[in-house]
Structure 1
Amino acid sequence: MTIIDRYRLQPSPLITIDGREEETNNFQLKAAPPVEAGNISGTVRYPNGTAIPFATVKLFDANGLPFEHNNSNPDGQFIFPRVPVGSYFITAAEPGFLTPLRIDLTVLANRTTTVPITMQVDPNVNKNAIFGIVRTSTNNQPIEEATVELFKVTGTTTEMIGIVSTNNEGQYLFADLENGNYFVTVSKPGFLSNESTPATVSDKDFAAVNMILAADPDSNAGTISGIITDAANGQAIANAIVVLYSVSNGIENVIDITKTNVGGLYLFGDLVAGIYRVKAPLQVKS
């Protein structure tokens, strides 16, 4: 049998008794409006049945919107009183544990719905994280879509173990890291790449590694490249001299000289806007 209020609890005025007095106080009770609500209760436990105290228990409505939250007591118990009838979802959270899938439940009028919640220990609870913000060197503004690479150093060995991009606030994060020594490199077109100092993490460290990128002064420059081959057989010509000329008003001036590599490739970089010409004489010493 469920106990419900048929009338509202109505207090009387204060009554003072001085000696042998017979006081009378009559008053009326107002009928309690019908309550279309029930309770939700339960216990948060380990898989072996041990209670988990002070876990956050979250209740969602049928549309998945947050409705209310509470904490389990030292015995792992929780209660949501006077919840309107209807359909709900419930789950729990606690540092060191994985958040369970939401459990669906129905609240009935003047009834208590009991929901047991079982939580699994997070196997990565003692893992580490490295995070930070990438900013410009000129105005300290966050840099979006910068490439951040994470490297782990073990003795004389360096291993790349992750690569991410910064968000629109310049933030990045590497989680679930083993104990060890790490560093990050950051790059983005238009900026000079940068490498962090080493960071050592162990036993659930969360290490902040913020980075600064300076603008590349040659970011608005161009390149000219190509491959030199023998016209007779199509073979690449190594060590061919390649001359770069700037052309102004029909006049050519030599501004750089390079040589092809073993694959016949040459490359001129950091070229400002202008008109250029490339020539490739093959000179040999007799």
Structure 2
Amino acid sequence: MADITQDLLQLQYSQNFPISGMQEADINLTLPPVAPATATVYGTVTDGTDPIPDATVKLFDSKGKPYQHTLTDKNGEYTLDGIPAGTYTLAAVKEGYLLSDAAGVVLTTSDTTQINLVCTQDSSLSLGALAGVVKTLVDKTETPLSGTKLSLLNAANEVVATTYSVDDGEFAFYDLADGSYTLMASAMGYLPAAPMAVTIVNGSIANVLVTMSADSRTYNGTVSGIIRDQNGNAVAGCFVGLFQVTAGQELLIATTKTNTDGKYLFGGVTSGEYLVKAKMNQ
């Protein structure tokens, strides 16, 4: 058998250049070394018995970072090549199947290694899902709203699931059987959102936007405190005024008097800047 010739230095090329008459051309090239030989991983993805076509097979490096991926062919077979020597893990997945157990492999130069993977079908993965975002208007700008309670009701008007929106306003329901649902949303200080109809068909995924409006009657704050004299004693019956500050101007908007413990409270305080003033007459 004839010896197989292998490259030692990589092919390089010059730029185009003209030659005119007896002109001398001086063209120098630097040839870098050929990259080290690489390894190949191949195999078949099955459900334990039958091959799974169009499954995604992904290779991760020793730090768990994705390195390369491919799809299986109609026979469930795959090949990953051009892999440098090192330690890797391999896994496969397809819609309707759980991610396979990771298979570890240590590859050396020019290795060709077979790794077969098994993906288990999971009927729950064929069920539907509902995802969305809850938002509200703050100074005429849409802003995510966290802490919103979301309830999902079935066609019989029974609550089948509840969840709460997170910091970025997102929420999700999963493992939903086909059917018609009603989504309800409520949050403290906001008017309940109008019921939203959602339909799941053939395991579909629904995406919705829920908009909450502030309840002017309850979406407000309070201002409270204690009035004391120079000796630290609570002052009962003391006049207390709440001033709203706008562009440096003070406007008295509410008054009250302290109770026997020197305490006062203003409710229904809307967004803004305020200050409190107090005095006691003889």
Which interval holds the TM-score relative to the shorter structure?
0.5 to 0.7
Which digits, 9 at most, give the CA deviation of each residue in 1:162-205, with x for residues without a partner?
22222333221111111222112212222122242322223112
Q: TM-score, normalised by structure 2?
A: 0.64
Deviation at 1:271, TM superposition (A): 4.8
Partner of 1:45: 46
What's the counterpart of residue 242 of structure 2? none
Superposed, which structure 2 residues align to 1:125-140 within 5 Å? 125-137=125-137, 138-140=140-142
- Separation in 2, partners of 1:102, 1:4: 37
TM-score scaled by length of structure 1: 0.63
Question: Any idea what SS the aligned residue of 1:73 has?
Answer: coil
Distance 1:217 1:43, change over 3 A: same
Q: Residue 198 of structure 1 aligns with which residue?
A: 197
SS of the aligned residue for 2:52 comes to coil
**Deviation larger for 137-146 or 62-71:** 137-146
Cα pair 2:130 2:206 within 8 Å, conserved: yes
Amino acid paired to 1:145: G
Amino acid at match of 2:175: D
Give me the whole-angstrom Cα distance separating, in 2, the residues matched to 1:272 and 1:215.
13
C-alpha distance in 2, partners of 1:5/1:145? 68
Identical aligned pairs, as a percentage? 24
**What amino acid sits opposite 2:182 in the alignment?**
F
| Aligned residue number for residue 65 of structure 2 | 65
**1:3-42 aligned within 5 A:** 6-7=6-7, 33=34, 35-42=36-43
RMSD over aligned Cα atoms: 3.2
**Structure 1 residue 272 corresponds to structure 2 residue 268:** yes
Q: Contact 1:196/1:211 (CA < 8 Å) preserved in 2?
A: no
Matches of 1:66 and 1:160, distance apart in 2: 41
Show the counterpart of 1:82.
82
Q: CA deviation at 1:36?
A: 5.0
Q: Is the 8 A contact 2:10 2:34 kept in 1?
A: no
Q: Secondary structure at the match of 1:74?
A: coil
Q: Could you tell me which amino acid in structure 2 is paired with residue 205 of structure 1? A: S
1:208 maps to which residue? 207
Give the corresponding residue for 1:172.
171
* CA displacement at 1:220 relative to structure 2: 1.8
Per the alignment, in what secondary structure is the counterpart of residue 175 of structure 1? strand
**Other structure's SS at 1:124 match:** helix
Rg larger in 1 or in 2? 1
> Matched residues in 1 for 2:168 and 2:255: separation?
44
- The number of residues matched between the two structures is 208
- The letter of the residue matching 2:146 is E
* Cα contact 1:183–1:195 (8 A) shared by 2: no
- Do the aligned partners of 2:44 and 2:76 also contact (CA within 8 Å) in 1? yes
In the alignment, does 2:181 pair up with 1:182?
A: yes
Deviation at 1:212, TM superposition (A): 1.1
Give the gaps of 5 or more residues in structure 1. Answer: 12-29, 223-245, 251-269, 275-286
Contact 2:154 / 2:160 at 8 angstroms: preserved in 1? yes
| Correspondence for 2:155 | 153
CA distance in 1, matches of 2:77, 2:216: 63
Between the aligned partners of 1:124 and 1:181, the Cα distance in structure 2 is 18
Distance verdict in 2 for CA 1:101–1:142, change over 3 Å: same
Q: Partners in 2 of 1:34 and 1:4 — Cα distance?
A: 17
CA distance in 1, matches of 2:85, 2:4: 15
Q: What is residue 238 of structure 2 aligned with on the other side?
A: none
- Counterpart CA distance in 1 for 2:255 and 2:51 is 82
Q: Which runs of 5+ in 2 are unaligned?
A: 12-30, 223-253, 259-265, 270-275, 277-282
Structure 1 residue 40 displacement after superposition? 0.8
Which letter does structure 2 place at the counterpart of 1:140?
A: E
Partners of 1:34 and 1:142 in 2: CA distance: 51
Deviation of the 1:91 alpha carbon: 0.5
1:6 and 1:31 in contact (8 A); partners too: no
